[in-house]
Chains A and B, each alone.
Chain A
Amino acid sequence: MRNKKGIEFSFGWLFALIVGAAILFLAIYAAVKLVGTEKTAQETEAAKQIELILTPVETGYEEGKSVPAIIFPAETRVYNNCSTSGNFGEQALRVSTSSGIGKTWEEAGLPVTSYNKYIFSPSMMQGIELYAFSKPFEMPFKVANVLFIWTDKYCFVNPTSEVEKEISSLGLKRMNVTDNINSCDKTAKKICFVSELDKCDVFVDPVQKLVRWKGKQAVFYEGSLIYGAILSEPELYECQVKRLMKRESELALLYNAKSEIIASKSGGCSSDLQVDLKNLATISGEIENSGELRNIYFSAQELENRHKRITNCKLWGE
């Protein structure tokens, strides 16, 4: 008889091995899931913090307001999304932090939505420092504070005197002004104002009030929206413009209601504006794209001229 050598496994050993492996697997699975959930919670909290930090940046009676850079503890990605659904549309911010293990950039945290903020920025920003400034958007009355945020370098080539003055007076970081495109930093986005060169990433035509991203369709701006058109991709810009116009429409109706109550008690004061207010509410509420901004601007100007003629019971400030 041959001696068959082998390892003898008692039932106890086999049982312990199987159960041990199952417990280990469950523990590792739970730990990975837990880390993921914690990361999502932290990133969502960070997005909310950004939103909170940006609230005091909004202007009151100022022409513009900038804040010191928002500094993250590590390389961070901030995603800016916009939707036009609902009465005022939605603004959503998401944050993703670099993990350093495996895939560096995993899925971002949950979106933090707000209905009363209008953030113009690239749809994805990456960096340790985030820069922000705000300006009021008026047409003809103040519609909202618009926020501009960025992380990349920008080089403004031959900008208008107004833009140049604003960049220097607000002390906007990572935004340089030059009259020669070749002196721009290689990593900077080149914003050209006078001529549309191949090297330009974005072309701005201040006469036609038009901004064109390289290889994309042109968008149109009015007032402070010039910065929005430069910083945001056309899709995001168009969405935010629609949201702003929804707010404009609601505000026009609110001023109309205010005019009605004042007029009823004062024998008609400010009632001349009601037709124009209703018209402004209709056209701004039905906007399809930024190309219609010009038309809304002219209606707003007409309304403003009428409003200026009122001596007392003015509906908004000048």
Chain B
Amino acid sequence: MGRIRLIKMTEKKGQMKVQEMAFVLIAIVIFFAMVALVYFSIRLSTLKTDVTTQREEAAKELVRKLADIPEFSWAECSGCVDVDKVLMLKDRTSYKKLWDVDYLMIEKVYPNKTQIECNAANYPDCTTITIINNTKNYGSPTSAFVALCGYEVSAGSVKCELGKIYASAKAII
């Protein structure tokens, strides 16, 4: 009887040890999973910040160089934008992917007028030309002042007005 009790006690001790190890194992797995979760969330947010910063930098560079891009440049002065060309560019779907931005807009800022989007019918009595608008939530776009030039048909001469270019980097989906 005594011997049987001893064997049963040893078996119980063994079971306890296996259970202990199983708990320790589960604890280790949970610990590593939590560490990995924290690491990946931090790394992912850093990566997202880096990508956003780089895209914003690219948008700034684009705004800086926009007046020199053939599709925008006015022939007779450096840093001037050809409004006639830009108006035509607006309707050309092939250009929507050429620049890596979510939002690209040109606005006449002086003389001050009520904001009206330009189209072939109301041009030049309008103020804004939106070339790219892929999202409603484009944040605060980068901007730069430019001279907006075009032919004043009635006067038969060139007319340049003060304008602004707005560009917003592509958002991370």
Q: Which residues of A contact B (CB under 8 A)?
A: 11-12, 15-16, 19, 23, 30, 41, 45, 48-49, 51-52, 55-56, 58-61, 86-88, 114-116, 141-144, 250-251, 253-255, 257-258, 261-262, 265-266, 312-318
Query: Which 8 pairs of residues, A with B, have the shortest CB-CB distance?
Result: A317-B75, A60-B68, A257-B88, A265-B153, A87-B94, A55-B61, A142-B70, A61-B78
Cross-chain contact of A45 among B14, B54, B65, B69 (Cβ < 8 A): B54
State whether B94 touches A141 (Cβ < 8 A). no
| Nearest A residue (CB) for B153 | A265
- One digit per residue, 1 when the CB lies within 8 angstroms of any chain A CB and 0 when it does not, for chain B 41-63 equals 00000010010001001100110
Interface members, chain B 17-46 (any A CB < 8 Å): 17-18, 21, 25, 28, 36
Number of A-B pairs, beta carbon distance below 8 Å = 100
Of B97-105, B125-133, B139-147, B159-167, the one with at least 4 CB within 8 A of chain A: B97-105
**Separation of A261 and B82 alpha carbons in the complex (Å):** 13
> How many interface residues does B have (CB within 8 Å)?
45
Q: By the criterion CB–CB under 8 Å, are B87 and A261 in contact?
A: yes
Docked complex Cα distance between A21 and B153 (Å): 82
Besides A60-B67, A60-B68, A313-B151, 14 more A-B contacts (Cβ < 8 Å) are A12-B17, A15-B18, A16-B21, A45-B54, A52-B61, A55-B62, A58-B65, A58-B68, A86-B97, A114-B100, A116-B98, A262-B153, A266-B153, A266-B156
Return the contact of A55 from the options B25, B65, B120 (Cβ within 8 A). Answer: B65
How many angstroms between the C-alpha atoms of A12 and B15 in the bound complex?
Answer: 11
Q: Are A141 and B87 in contact (CB under 8 A)?
A: no
Residues of B within 8 A of A142 (CB): 70, 73
